Amino acid sequence: MPLATVNGISLNYQVKGDRSKGTDVKGSAPLVVMVMGTGSGGRVWELHQVPALVSAGYRVCTFDNRGIAPSFESPAGITIEDLVRDTIALIEFLGEGPVLLVGQSMGSRVAQEVALARPDLVRKAVFMAGHARLDQFQQTLGLGEQELDDTGTKLPAKFEAAMTALMNLSPASMADPHTARDWLDLFEFTGGPATPGVRAQRRMDHDFDRRVAYRAIRVPCLALGFADDRMIPPYLSREVADIIPGARYQEVPDAGHFGYLEQPEVVNKILVEFFVA
């Protein structure tokens, strides 16, 4: 993935298209820009969303947010404003606005702010696990996560894997022993101490309320909730759709916070249908 110098930092990004349809050429097909959530790299979109969107005739830009190496890790601290300016600068660097913008969790918060601040750069926007605020549970969880980071405590790998599954997956995934084993093995293998950049992302503000501000968003928006999401419960995603004039809300069943990985075919179908509508 190439590095772009935008907003005074380096961002690791990639644009993919379908050569058979001629969509690997700049400007030849709509560009989808995808913004990932806390602690994850843009490559996560490559598992399911990028292939499906490319197959549907789109070009797709994924990137590592500030905080995720090899993008600038910004260990001294990260704000939502930093991430919003980074995303705006990357779209301008690509020279392809207005784009189709997709966010997940923290990435949805970024996408919401981009849609508000720069509607000229956004054709349509999708907010997976979007939210205009956090409730008391999410605020307490975030502060507890920061305290855990600060202590340097290393959790046993199996316990960390089990907690990751509990917070991010649907009970439907855990009910099947083979599916549960695959996920738990993956979380155990990929777990471990957070990097300085990820810790900086986790230290971002948790006490915010953008419900009034988002009434001014005017681009077509879809808020996508995951029915079993414990991290961002679906009522917070529905609230975003209720706030933004003309926005739609859709909910994916049997899906937790990682619903785009648990139910990729459903999510991808929703994305494409919204884009072409």
Please give the pLDDT value at position 21. Answer: 66
Taking 80 as the threshold, does the pLDDT of residue 37 lie above it? yes
Residues carrying CATH 3.40.50.1820, the chain: 3-135+208-276
Taking 80 as the threshold, does the pLDDT of residue 118 lie above it? yes
Q: pTM for this one?
A: 0.95
Active-site residue, 229 included? yes
Active-site residue, 71 included? no
Q: 192 falls in which pLDDT band (50, 70, 90)?
A: confident
Active-site residue, 257 included? yes
Taking 80 as the threshold, does the pLDDT of residue 68 lie above it? yes
Mean pLDDT of all residues in 52-71: 96
Of 147-156, 174-183, 204-213, the range with the lowest mean pLDDT is: 147-156
Over pLDDT 70: what percentage of the chain?
Answer: 97
Q: Taking a C-beta distance cutoff of 8 angstroms, is the pair 91, 12 a contact?
A: no
- List helix spans (H) across the chain: 49-55, 80-94, 106-117, 136-151, 157-168, 171-175, 177-190, 196-202, 234-243, 259-262, 264-276
The catalytically annotated residue of 64, 82, 228, 229 is 229
Taking 70 as the threshold, does the pLDDT of residue 97 lie above it? yes
Residue 87 to residues 6, 173, 243, Cα–Cα distance (Å): 9, 33, 23
Residue 167 to residues 44, 109, 116, 171, 277, Cα–Cα distance (Å): 18, 19, 30, 10, 33
Q: What backbone phi and psi angles, to 5 degrees, belong to 275?
A: -65, -40
Residue 160 to residues 12, 105, 175, 189, 192, Cα–Cα distance (Å): 28, 20, 19, 10, 8
CATH of 3-135+208-276, one of 1.10.10.10, 1.10.3720.10, 3.40.50.1820, 3.50.50.60: 3.40.50.1820
Q: For tokens 């679906």, name the residue.
A: 234
The catalytically annotated residue of 105, 170, 173, 237 is 105
Tens digits of residue pLDDT in 162-191 = 999 999 999 999 999 999 999 999 999 998
